[in-house]
Amino acid sequence: MRSALSLCRRTVIHLNHRGYIYVWANIFWFLLTLPIITAPAAWAGLVYLSRQAYLNRTATLDDFWVGFRMNLWRGMLMAVVNILVIGLNLFNIGTYSNATDFTSLTLRSVWWLTLVVWIAVQFYMWPLFYELKTPTLWGALRNAFVMALLNPVFTIVLMIVVALLVAVSTFLFPAWVVLTGSALAALSTGAVLDRLIKAGLRDQFPQPELESSEDDFGGMNVE
């Protein structure tokens, strides 16, 4: 828990140092998210920008567009997958919302858990995609699931932080336009780099805010 909260603090510092780039990228991300089909590619662009900012100390708005164009078709595929996974689970939850028998309650719990796990996997997926020697969506999804599984407390705390950020941004809607997406991307990228460094799969500390703290982490195969 301490390491996840420490990561959040470092993410705020990171955003503060590079705010104007993240603000402009967030505006384009927001516009490209409105057509749902391009939303994952826009998110991939934000993550690519944040990765450049973390690892190379410099980033430009061009990095956002590089990530977006690079993953436009992959993003469209992920949009379809997300619609199917999220839509199917929400449909099932809604269908059985009034049922009170044990089986229905159990199934609803499973469907809600599936949604939470899927969101956590999506949170880790794109930063891991850029870390793969041969990037594939399947490889990124698999490693994202492993990362979430091996870091349950870390992941749960981050999901709570994400939920709070989403709730506050929804109440203060302009935040979605200027910063929320970038903040989530920076947190996502920072989380993955932190876990990889702690696991010994990254041996450099590109920036001080990426120094991982002391907590347990099992091995993970990043191919």
pLDDT of residue 102: 81
The span from the CA of 68 to the CA of 62, in Å, is 10
Residue ranges, the chain, pLDDT below 50: 211-223
The span from the CA of 193 to the CA of 206, in Å, is 10
The span from the CA of 95 to the CA of 108, in Å, is 10
pLDDT of residue 204: 58
pLDDT of residue 213: 43
Its pTM stands at 0.85
pLDDT of residue 109: 87
pLDDT of residue 215: 39
pLDDT of residue 189: 94
Quick check: helix, strand or coil at residue 202? coil
Is there a contact between 90 and 108 (Cβ–Cβ < 8 Å)?
A: no
End-to-end CA distance of the chain: 28
pLDDT of residue 8: 87
Is there a contact between 78 and 118 (Cβ–Cβ < 8 Å)?
A: no
Angle at 200 between CA 194 and CA 201, to 5 degrees: 80
Is there a contact between 212 and 206 (Cβ–Cβ < 8 Å)?
A: no
Q: Which helix (H) or strand (E) holds 114?
A: helix 102-131
The span from the CA of 125 to the CA of 135, in Å, is 11
The span from the CA of 16 to the CA of 32, in Å, is 24
pLDDT of residue 216: 35
Q: What DSSP string describes 61-104?
A: HHHHHHHHHHTHHHHHHHHHHHHHHHHHHHHHHHHTTT--SHHH
